[in-house]
């Protein structure tokens, strides 16, 4: 299969399960899985891919004896075999309904007891099973909701399938907007995250690649992924996040990894109000230096949309273009990329951002006027593909950003091996 250089078109595989939008944390909880269905509907109505229905069929689906079906199926783990390819002609990318992760997949990182708890906890039994919500943090942030384990299986199944697809060489870029749940720990839920799909996907990539780079632009620190790989040099984690009186509180610039991992965790702590230009002035030089010094074989990019201006929880001031520029910049290195979702609490803007960023990876331009879609009323009154910055203060003074940048670049120059 032809390898794509950074110039010619990249083969994009996109993973989506039509059930994902049905899960609800609880009324009033900021995390709304419905946002993923909104993004999918916009992606389909912009014509970037065919839709996929409950059976995984779509009008563009191929018959099982179609050569590419055989190639895809043979080239990959058994997960692919259950897959119906919907590689439709003329669309910019292929959409797949991923196999759901099972406890065997999940316990590649998480403890047996923790996954056993996730499988059996219900809203009714949560209090009792979690010792009052303390042992596994199942409570305000991480409630036990109806279908919790299925939701985790869909999220993790998508990211594992996306990693397998990159490993098989069947695509250059893979996308799972239901993934990116970066706070989940080995034995406990945290920050709306229960199963760390990112860690599971990176473990899959490590079967092929000696070095994997993880980049996190969610407004919250990617603590679960950093912790999982804190003492190894086989994964470099780089998180750009709001820091100071903000959840989860970790991610200080001085936290750089330990043991063989010393120097392989990068934290870029930022203040609220950061705008496109100041964000890029620190993001681009750091990513350039990381790629130069670390030379990863593959990149995992968590595109949490709560770093957009106007997010309910975030406090940053990035525009749609500014947020998407991170994906565009990473794509240009021409390395295999797995792009994942994450946070994002102003749901109409989450759908806008992830639709736009899907198009960026496909190399497609989108009309700024939204196409008619199932959730059109959410996008009023302008019905545009835009997220504009506001006039809140940027508390990231240039000398602050410069000091952080110098500290990070200095550490990168001195990587031990």
Ligand X SMILES: CN1CC(C(=O)N[C@@H](CCCCCC(O)(O)c2ccon2)c2nc(-c3ccccc3F)c[nH]2)C1
Residue selected from 220, 242, 331, 405 as contacting ligand X according to rule CB under 6 A? 220
Smallest separation, CB 345 to ligand X (Å): 7
Q: Which residue is nearest to ligand X (CB)?
A: 343
- Give the integer Cα–Cα distance in Å for 153 and 135: 22
**Residue with Cβ nearer ligand X (91 or 220):** 220
Nearest CA to 135 among 176, 185, 171? Answer: 185
Residue range at the interface with ligand X (CB under 6 A); choices 53-61, 116-124, 181-189, 323-331:
181-189
Query: What are the residues whose beta carbons fall under 8 Å from the beta carbon of 126, sequence distance 6 or more?
Result: 133, 138, 139, 143, 144
Tokens encoding 110: 């998480």
Q: Where are the alpha helices (H) located in 315-366, listed in sequence order?
A: 320-331, 347-362
Using CB under 6 A, count the residues that bind ligand X.
Answer: 19
- Give the integer Cα–Cα distance in Å for 167 and 366: 29
Within 10 Å of residue 414's Cβ, how many Cβ atoms?
A: 8
Region 268-307 residues binding ligand X, contact defined as CB under 6 A: 304, 306
Bridge partners (DSSP) listed for residue 338:
174, 300
Q: Where are the alpha helices (H) located in 24-121, listed in sequence order?
A: 34-45, 67-75, 78-81, 103-106, 112-120
**Residue with Cβ nearer Zn ion (172 or 306):** 306
- Identify whether 248 is preceded by a cis peptide bond (ω within 30 of 0): yes
179 binds ligand X (CB under 6 A): no
197 binds ligand X (CB under 6 A): no
201 binds ligand X (CB under 6 A): no
Region 70-129 residues binding Zn ion, contact defined as CB under 5 A: none
Residue range at the interface with ligand X (CB under 6 A); choices 39-47, 186-194, 284-292, 397-405:
186-194
What residues act catalytically?
183
Residue 394's binding partner, choosing from ligand X, Zn ion, none, with beta-carbon cut-off 5 to 8 A by kind? none
Residue range at the interface with Zn ion (CB under 5 A); choices 46-54, 213-221, 223-231, 276-284:
213-221
Residue selected from 33, 157, 261, 343 as contacting ligand X according to rule CB under 6 A? 343
Residue range at the interface with Zn ion (CB under 5 A); choices 15-23, 41-49, 98-106, 338-346:
338-346
Query: What are the residues whose beta carbons fall under 8 Å from the beta carbon of 178, sequence distance 6 or more?
Result: 15, 16, 17, 20, 33, 36, 154, 155, 158, 341
Region 341-370 residues binding Zn ion, contact defined as CB under 5 A: 343
Nearest CA to 14 among 174, 197, 158? Answer: 174
Region 385-404 residues binding ligand X, contact defined as CB under 6 A: none
Smallest separation, CB 183 to ligand X (Å): 6
- Give the integer Cα–Cα distance in Å for 357 and 127: 40
11 binds Zn ion (CB under 5 A): no
180 binds ligand X (CB under 6 A): yes
204 binds ligand X (CB under 6 A): no
> Where does this chain bind ligand X (CB under 6 A)?
29-30, 140-141, 180-183, 191-193, 218, 220, 247, 304, 306, 313, 342-343
């Amino acid at each position: 299969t032809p390898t794509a250089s950074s110039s010619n078109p990249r083969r994009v595989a996109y993973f989506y399960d039509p059930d994902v939008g049905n899960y609800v944390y609880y009324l009033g909880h900021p995390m709304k899985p419905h946002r993923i269905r909104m993004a999918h509907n916009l992606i389909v109505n912009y014509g970037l891919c065919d839709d996929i229905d409950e059976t995984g069929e779509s009008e563009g689906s191929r018959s099982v004896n179609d050569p590419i079906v055989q190639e895809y199926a043979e080239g990959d783990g058994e997960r692919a075999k259950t897959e119906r390819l919907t590689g439709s002609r003329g669309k910019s990318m292929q959409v797949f309904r991923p196999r759901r992760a099972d406890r065997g997949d999940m316990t590649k990182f998480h403890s047996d007891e923790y996954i056993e708890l996730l499988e059996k906890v219900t809203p009714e039994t949560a209090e009792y099973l979690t010792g009052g919500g303390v042992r596994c943090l199942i409570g305000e942030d991480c409630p036990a909701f109806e279908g919790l384990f299925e939701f985790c299986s869909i999220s993790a199944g998508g990211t594992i399938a996306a990693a397998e697809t990159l490993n098989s060489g069947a695509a250059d870029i893979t996308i799972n907007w239901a993934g990116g749940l970066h706070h989940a720990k080995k034995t406990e839920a945290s920050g709306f995250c229960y199963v760390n799909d990112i860690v599971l996907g990176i473990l899959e990539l490590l079967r092929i690649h000696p070095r994997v780079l993880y980049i996190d632009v969610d407004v919250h620190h990617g603590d679960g992924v950093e912790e999982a790989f804190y003492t190894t040099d086989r994964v470099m984690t780089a998180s750009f996040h709001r820091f100071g009186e903000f959840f989860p509180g970790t991610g200080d610039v001085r936290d750089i990894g330990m043991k063989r991992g010393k120097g392989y965790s990068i934290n870029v702590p930022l203040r609220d109000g950061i705008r496109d230009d100041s964000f890029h002035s620190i993001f681009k030089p750091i990513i350039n230096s990381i790629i130069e010094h670390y030379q990863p074989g593959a990149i995992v990019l968590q595109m949490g949309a709560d770093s957009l201006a106007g997010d309910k929880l975030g406090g940053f001031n990035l525009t749609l273009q500014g947020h998407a520029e991170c994906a565009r910049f990473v794509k240009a290195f021409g390395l295999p990329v797995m792009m994942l979702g994450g946070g994002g609490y102003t749901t109409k803007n989450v759908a806008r951002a992830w639709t736009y960023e899907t198009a960026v990876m496909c190399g497609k331009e989108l009309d700024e006027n939204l196409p008619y879609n199932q959730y059109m009323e959410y996008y009023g009154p302008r019905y545009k593909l835009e997220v504009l910055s506001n006039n809140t203060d940027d508390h990231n003074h240039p000398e602050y950003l410069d000091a952080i940048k110098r500290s990070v670049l200095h550490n990168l120059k001195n990587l031990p091996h």
